[in-house]
A and B are shown apart, each in its own frame.
Chain A
């Protein structure tokens, strides 16, 4: 089971064993990672599961589709080059050891 690491704005780090095929968001919620609100449950409707994929890992995830791209434009926290909605990131073996950073705020 791939490990995904979540890093908080204060630098604290949490490693989660994530089943293949689940979303990164769902793993954050079920493992009580702070700062991933996910109020719409992964329907691509709220932009409250925004994360920054670590630049070193950015090549390991496919680019956002058009809907996600537009949602990132209106997310609460600043958009950066590696901004993603974690509900749209599906865990696979290629993501082993990936680090994502949780932004300051989601709403």
Chain B
């Protein structure tokens, strides 16, 4: 029987096991996870769980029974020491080694540390695990002055939770706008204004040069402007780094992530890599994405290949992301270009609108604020390779649903323009 070993029990790793069983695979499946919890959804750690509205048990991807009834050998609290590619064996810390016919690396990512003096003081927190979320909630409930470093998804979600808990956090961001890595200027400005309305003190174009403390506990944040902010809690949300150490040690090609080909195979054809840890070709660029959608869709792609789909089909699902920040629901689909033109559909003053972004006249992505239908239409358009004109996108009376569904003789040309 084919033996498939998956390293990583997050959305990507469990997704492989689930998709294999859904497609009727009878392979022997082992999933190895380092954490003690049953596999869980990660996005709520910085949202519902941080607000005390969910426990890790509420976030389970599958019930405990599911793994047994689907013959998935789930090994929790288990660490892989190394991969022996010659012997096609995974060497575990405290257990017998596991042989594999195919190995899937779904090891995820971990928070980037703040590279400044004082980053290891007590009171300086990252947010990546359920215990981080509980700890942060506890500290927020007792904090006087909170500084959030980084205005990406995590930083702004934490800032939103902090304001809900009655705090007025300062958010420090090196870029000149919030969400600079994932969104266009229209969305950034809207989101920044909403956070400011809620009492967030945003410091854009500003770096952190040092964290100061007393008796081992953080007390102040020194900014690149020279200003010194008081802080008894500092939350760091400055991006993630891929957990690719096992792959590097095993001699697989890596470059800030495990490099994979268009079918998600690593430089060893008996090993695949998916999710946050993988760098795959997207529009010609080796790209690493951190999202539930990417993890789940890449898991399905690899599972289909392992179940006998030998078409060699490249992975090319449309990427999408979401973030919830107090009363803001943000959804993005597609991968933006650096110099995209922005077309607004709907009225930002109502708090519900979408931004259609174009590169060279072709739709590259759609960003939606409190407007899930716009997001779903964006996904349909981009998946079908259909690009409405800028005038059509800007016209709320133009029926995008019908446009996305209609047959389009030029769709192929547009698709290749998007991904070339």
CB neighbours of B63 from chain A (8 A): 30-32
Measured CA separation A41–B59 after assembly (Å): 9
Q: Restricting to A1-50, which residues have a CB under 8 Å from any CB of B?
A: 29-32, 39-41, 43-47
Interface size on B, residues (CB 8 A): 23
Contact A39 B293 (CB under 8 A): yes
Stretch at the interface among B79-87, B88-96, B254-262, B369-377: B369-377
Contact B66 A32 (CB under 8 A): yes
Contact A41 B44 (CB under 8 A): yes
Contact B60 A30 (CB under 8 A): yes
- Give the Cβ gap from B334 to chain A, nearest Cβ, in Å: 16
Instruction: Identify the interface centre among A30, A32, A41: most chain B CB within 10 Å of its CB.
Output: A41
Nearest-neighbor residue (CB-CB) of A47 within chain B: B376
Measured CA separation A45–B376 after assembly (Å): 8
- Give the Cβ gap from B148 to chain A, nearest Cβ, in Å: 22
Measured CA separation A43–B62 after assembly (Å): 18
- Please pick, from B69, B296, B324, B376, the residue contacting A74 in the complex, using a CB distance under 8 A: B376
Q: Restricting to B10-46, which residues have a CB under 8 Å from any CB of A?
A: 41, 43-44
Contact A70 B372 (CB under 8 A): yes
- Give the Cβ gap from B174 to chain A, nearest Cβ, in Å: 29
| B181 in the interface (beta carbon within 8 A) | no
Contact B372 A67 (CB under 8 A): yes
- Please pick, from B44, B372, B377, the residue contacting A45 in the complex, using a CB distance under 8 A: B372
Measured CA separation A45–B44 after assembly (Å): 14
CB neighbours of B69 from chain A (8 A): 32
Contact B375 A45 (CB under 8 A): yes
Contact B401 A74 (CB under 8 A): yes
| A71 in the interface (beta carbon within 8 A) | yes
Give the interface SS of chain A, mostly helix, strand, loop or mixed: loop
- Please pick, from A29, A30, A31, A71, the residue contacting B372 in the complex, using a CB distance under 8 A: A71
CB neighbours of B324 from chain A (8 A): 43
Contact B373 A74 (CB under 8 A): yes
| B403 in the interface (beta carbon within 8 A) | no
Contact A39 B401 (CB under 8 A): no
CB neighbours of A71 from chain B (8 A): 372-373, 376
Measured CA separation A30–B324 after assembly (Å): 24
| A73 in the interface (beta carbon within 8 A) | yes
Nearest-neighbor residue (CB-CB) of A31 within chain B: B63
Instruction: Identify the interface centre among B59, B296, B375: most chain A CB within 10 Å of its CB.
Output: B375
| B322 in the interface (beta carbon within 8 A) | yes
CB neighbours of A31 from chain B (8 A): 63
- Give the Cβ gap from B55 to chain A, nearest Cβ, in Å: 13
Q: Restricting to A67-98, which residues have a CB under 8 Å from any CB of B?
A: 67, 70-71, 73-74
CB neighbours of B266 from chain A (8 A): none
Tell me whether A73 and B372 are in contact in the complex, defined as CB-CB below 8 angstroms, given that A32-B69, A39-B293, A41-B44 are known contacts.
no
CB neighbours of A73 from chain B (8 A): 373, 401
Instruction: Identify the interface centre among A43, A47, A67, A70: most chain B CB within 10 Å of its CB.
Output: A43
| B329 in the interface (beta carbon within 8 A) | yes
Measured CA separation A43–B63 after assembly (Å): 20
Measured CA separation A4–B106 after assembly (Å): 35
| B331 in the interface (beta carbon within 8 A) | yes
CB neighbours of B124 from chain A (8 A): none
Nearest-neighbor residue (CB-CB) of B65 within chain A: A32
Measured CA separation A95–B412 after assembly (Å): 48
Contact A45 B293 (CB under 8 A): no
Contact B66 A41 (CB under 8 A): no
Nearest-neighbor residue (CB-CB) of B401 within chain A: A74
Measured CA separation A41–B11 after assembly (Å): 12
- Please pick, from B60, B322, B377, the residue contacting A40 in the complex, using a CB distance under 8 A: B322
- Give the Cβ gap from A74 to chain B, nearest Cβ, in Å: 4
Nearest-neighbor residue (CB-CB) of A74 within chain B: B376
Tell me whether A41 and B43 are in contact in the complex, defined as CB-CB below 8 angstroms, given that A30-B63, A74-B377 are known contacts.
yes
| B292 in the interface (beta carbon within 8 A) | yes
Measured CA separation A38–B379 after assembly (Å): 16
- Give the Cβ gap from B93 to chain A, nearest Cβ, in Å: 30
**7 nearest interchain CB pairs?**
A74-B376, A70-B373, A30-B63, A74-B373, A41-B41, A45-B372, A71-B372
Name 16 extra pairs, CB < 8 A, besides A41-B41, A71-B373.
A30-B62, A31-B63, A39-B292, A40-B292, A41-B43, A41-B59, A41-B292, A43-B322, A44-B372, A45-B329, A45-B331, A45-B375, A46-B376, A70-B373, A71-B376, A74-B380
Sample of 10 A–B contacts (CB below 8 Å): A30-B62, A30-B66, A32-B63, A41-B41, A41-B43, A43-B324, A44-B372, A47-B376, A70-B372, A74-B401
